[in-house]
Chains A and B, each alone.
Chain A
Amino acid sequence: MSSVRERVRALLKTTGWLQTDIDTLADDADLYTAGLTSHATVTLMLSLEEAFDVEFPDSLLRRRTFSSVDTIVEALTSIGVDKAAV
């Protein structure tokens, strides 16, 4: 059992999307500055949807939704993902 935050971090760690190790980044660190490209954002969005079995509504399909661990967790919880554990 791990928190949404941990699972998001684990997802970001196992892929080559970032140029900086996610473990060295704070929850509010800018992922785009850390190397996340627009195409990688698309893959990240699809991976999150698959991992959490959700579909982001159009209103969340924006760059800032995926700009940090914090904003991703906030977006996931806003569409019903349980923040504490899944």
Chain B
Amino acid sequence: MSDAHRAYRDELLQHGLLISMGVDGLYGRSPVFEQIVGGIDHAFSRAAGADGAETMRFPPGIGKAQLEQSGYLKSSPQLVGTVHSFMGLDRDHRAMIETLEKGGDWTAGQKTTQVALTPATCYAVYPVMAARGPLAEAGGLVDVRGYCFRHEPSIDPARLQMFRQREHVRLGTEAQALDFRALWIERAQTIIGSFGLPFEVDVANDPFFGRTGKLLATSQREDALKFELLVPITSNEAPTACASFNYHRDLFGRTWGVRTAAGEVAHTACVGFGLERITLALLKHHGFVPAKWPAKVRDALGL
């Protein structure tokens, strides 16, 4: 498996589609790569066009306080990235430089800032929506896109440490959340099908941490809270999740105090497309030169 990962990553680097930055899972992207990302984003927008989502764009960070309240530290501490900075005086600075020059651990004096890296694009949305007060009768629908960070260094180019998600987030009643998810499970298959990619949709779980994570993961599967659309990239046996469809019940509604128009705790759901993963799937299946891809696929991507 890791040989296949390495081989595909090396091909992407050789073709200049990814640019090495010296860290596994952290790459620059070429203009061609970004064109494909843009095409996927465009296809997503086109499919969602009439839904009337409110667009929000956030930086790739959330507040440390919001991270703490979200519950993510309880379920997935191993993936979290927090931003640290130097907050000392002149003498601390001198000591840090000295340690740095000796090749020692210069980070010892770093302190956490108020910023954490965004673990999933929708995490910025819930506190913002909660702060507005009760939802309208029709519920809320928010369109987000942005970079996420997950600390899982890998040579698999489909497992990046920093990657983009395009998401729609639904907030409202249980029925509104479930209808939204069902709609997107169908819609995503049409979109990915139009890209000429093989896929399957299956029930899934998040990679929660430790023994408690095992409980969360089995619960998530038993209740079919998460579905993924999987596309084979470097392996047919272990296809890669390129989109996910998540129903959170009232977890985030309760965590953040999101209320429906009727004053009930809101239920939420989200659909997320992994923009780099779908790009990598397209490059794998159709080749490294998008100009030579089938006309139908190019049309679907608006290329």
Identify the A interface with B (CB < 8 A).
37-39, 41-42, 45-46, 58, 61-64
Contacts of A63 in B (CB 8 A): 215, 218-219, 222-223
Known: A39-B71, A46-B212, A62-B219. 15 other contacts (CB 8 A): A37-B254, A38-B219, A38-B251, A39-B75, A39-B251, A41-B216, A42-B74, A42-B75, A42-B212, A42-B215, A42-B216, A63-B215, A63-B218, A63-B219, A63-B222
B75, closest chain A residue (CB): A39
Q: Is B292 an interface residue (CB 8 A)?
A: no
The residue that A39 contacts in the complex, of B74, B211, B222, with Cβ under 8 A, is: B74
Q: Which of B195-229 contact A (CB under 8 A)?
A: 211-212, 214-216, 218-220, 222-223
A61 touches B211 (CB 8 A): yes
Which residues of B20-78 have CB atoms within 8 Å of chain A's CB atoms? 71, 74-75
B74 to chain A, nearest CB (A): 5
Contact call A61/B215, Cβ cutoff below 8 A: yes
B interface SS class:
helix
8 Å CB interface, B211-252 against A:
211-212, 214-216, 218-220, 222-223, 251
A-B contact pairs, 8 of them (CB 8 A): A37-B254, A38-B216, A38-B219, A41-B219, A42-B74, A45-B215, A58-B214, A62-B215
Residues of B146-192 whose CB lies within 8 A of A: none
- Expressed in whole angstroms, the minimum distance between the Cβ of A30 and any Cβ of chain B is 13
Q: Given the complex, which residues of B lie within 8 Å of A39, measured CB to CB?
A: 71, 74-75, 251
Contact with A along B64-98 (1 / 0, CB 8 A): 00000001001100000000000000000000000
Contact yes or no, A61 B254, CB < 8 A = no
Q: Which residues of A contact B220 (CB under 8 A)?
A: 38
- Please tell me if the beta carbons of B222 and A64 are within 8 angstroms of each other in the complex: yes
Taking a contact as CB atoms closer than 8 A, the residue among A37, A46, A61 that contacts B218 in the complex is A61
| Residues of chain A within 8 A of B74, CB atoms compared | 39, 42
CA distance A62 to B212 in the complex (A): 10
Which chain A residues border B211 with CB–CB below 8 Å?
A: 61
